[in-house]
Amino acid sequence: MKRDKKITQLAKKLVELSKDDNGAVTEAKVSEVLAGLKQVKHRHHLTVLKSYLGYLRREVALQTAVVATPSALSDAALKEIEANYTKLYGRPISAVTTQDTSLIAGVRVHVGDDVYDASVSGRLQRLAENVH
Amino acid sequence: MKALFITLLFALSLPLGLYSAEDLHVVSHDAADAVAGHAEDGGVISELAGNFGITWPTLIAQMVNFCIVAIVLYKFAVKPIVATLDERQQKIADGLQYAEEMKAQLAAAERERAEKIKEAAVDAQRILNESREQSKEMIEQKTQEAAAQAEAIIRKASEATEQERKKMLTEVRQEVARLVVATSSKVLSRDLSDTEKSTFSESAAKELASAGN
């Protein structure tokens, strides 16, 4: 248990080291951290790497706005979404788009565990849920 | 009894005493009577006594014998008889008194029995009245309880029916809504053009982009 706690703390510090000056996780920083880990050769190297990967994924998910839409969005709209959520969460948010035809029309944005839905199917679903 | 015996003794000895007194009187006055020639009565008595063989020694002896016999009889016959009679009389008196007491006690017992019977009848009547009152109250209470239970059962059944109705209504609404949503989704998916979808998506993106501001 104590060992797990130390590994967790180490993984969190590594994630912090993986961020650039803006607080965004960058590939270059992650490469540097991995190189450092390779040099240090921690006694529980694999465990540290797994923990680091988990926290890194969570951090990337927190910094990524997954915009689901049935059709392609304009770059301006994506920029607006990035700017809005960057301001809203107080950290750099980058938007990536995915195609989801089940939405019919509109967009659905995932930021970490948060979901913002402005799709036709979502509205219809909420309408159905509100009918009692 | 003792007085009776003494009276009898005096009655028996009285003629002898009179006779002796008369005889003495005759002796003391013989001379005078002889002189006066009036000795006719005393002479007759003396003559009769002489004819019956009564003489002073015999009379005295008989008197003594009589007294002795009387004393002996009194001592050994009359006294025990008197005692026996007194005892018997006392027993009879006691028996009569006991009978009177028993009669009084019987009357008292009879009165007590009658009072107790009366009290028992009153108690029985009171208990009967109380039992009737209690049974009446119990019947009323049970009736009220049964009415309350019936009312509760009816109320619960009504509530259950109402809940069931609401549940069915909700299910129907949800099913209708689900069908409407499914139909709408299919219709919108089929009828919306790509341009319309893109326009709506841009509009939704702008809506989300401006939501936090």
Give residue-wise pLDDT tens across range A1-53.
566 888 888 889 998 888 887 778 888 888 988 888 888 877 788 888 999 99
Distance of CA B81 to the CA centre of its chain: 47
CB contact under 8 A, A124 and B184: yes
- Residue B206 at interface with chain A, using a CB cutoff of 8 Å: yes
Residue of B nearest to A71 (CA): B198
pLDDT at B62: 87
pLDDT at A43: 78
Quick check: B171 pLDDT over 70?
yes
Shortest Cα–Cα distance, A102 to chain B (Å): 9
- Residue B58 at interface with chain A, using a CB cutoff of 8 Å: no
Pair A88, B183: CB distance under 8 Å: no
- Percent share of chain B, pLDDT over 70: 79
For the ranges A89-93, A123-127, B21-25, the lowest mean pLDDT is seen at B21-25
Place of tokens 């910094």: A63
Question: Which chain A residues touch B180 with a CB distance below 8 Å?
Answer: 128
CA distances from B103 to A8, A49, B95, B97, B107 (A): 117, 125, 12, 10, 6
Among A66, A67, A71, A86, the residue to mutate for chain B (most B Cβ within 10 A):
A71
Shortest Cα–Cα distance, A98 to chain B (Å): 13
Pair B192, A104: CB distance under 8 Å: yes
**What phi and psi, each to the nearest 5 degrees, are found at residue A90?**
75, 25
Sign of the alpha-carbon dihedral angle for B164, B169, B170, B175: positive
Residue of A nearest to B190 (CA): A104
Among A91, A104, A117, A121, the residue to mutate for chain B (most B Cβ within 10 A):
A104
Q: What are residue A111's DSSP bridge partners? A: A65, A114
Please name the member of B181, B201, B207 whose beta carbon is closest to the beta carbon of A125.
Answer: B181
Q: Which DSSP string do the residues of A40-82 spell out, in sequence order?
A: H--TTHHHHHHHHHHHHHHHHHHTEEEEEESSPPPHHHHHHHH
Q: What integer is the mean pLDDT of B13-40? A: 50
Among A84, A114, A127, the residue to mutate for chain B (most B Cβ within 10 A):
A84
Q: What band does B3 get if pLDDT is binned at 50, 70 and 90?
A: low
Please name the member of B185, B207, B211 whose beta carbon is closest to the beta carbon of A121.
Answer: B185
Q: What integer is the mean pLDDT of B68-95? A: 91
Q: What integer is the mean pLDDT of B133-154? A: 96
Quick check: B10 pLDDT over 70?
no
Structure tokens belonging to residue B121: 């009848």
- Residue A90 at interface with chain B, using a CB cutoff of 8 Å: no
Quick check: A74 pLDDT over 50?
yes
Shortest Cα–Cα distance, A5 to chain B (Å): 37
Q: What integer is the mean pLDDT of B99-110? A: 95
Quick check: B193 pLDDT over 80?
yes
Residue of A nearest to B173 (CA): A132
CB contact under 8 A, A84 and B211: yes
Question: Which chain A residues touch B201 with a CB distance below 8 Å?
Answer: 69-71, 73, 105-107
Q: What band does B4 get if pLDDT is binned at 50, 70 and 90?
A: low
The whole-model pTM stands at: 0.49
Q: What band does B130 get if pLDDT is binned at 50, 70 and 90?
A: very high
d(CA B80, CA B4): 15
Residue of B nearest to A124 (CA): B181
A14 closest CA partner among A47, A3, A114, A89:
A47
CB contact under 8 A, B174 and A69: no
**E-assigned strands of chain B?**
none
Quick check: B213 pLDDT over 60?
no
Q: Exposed e or buried b for every residue in B89-109, given b needs 16+ CB within 10 A?
A: eeeeeeeeeeeeeeeeeeeee
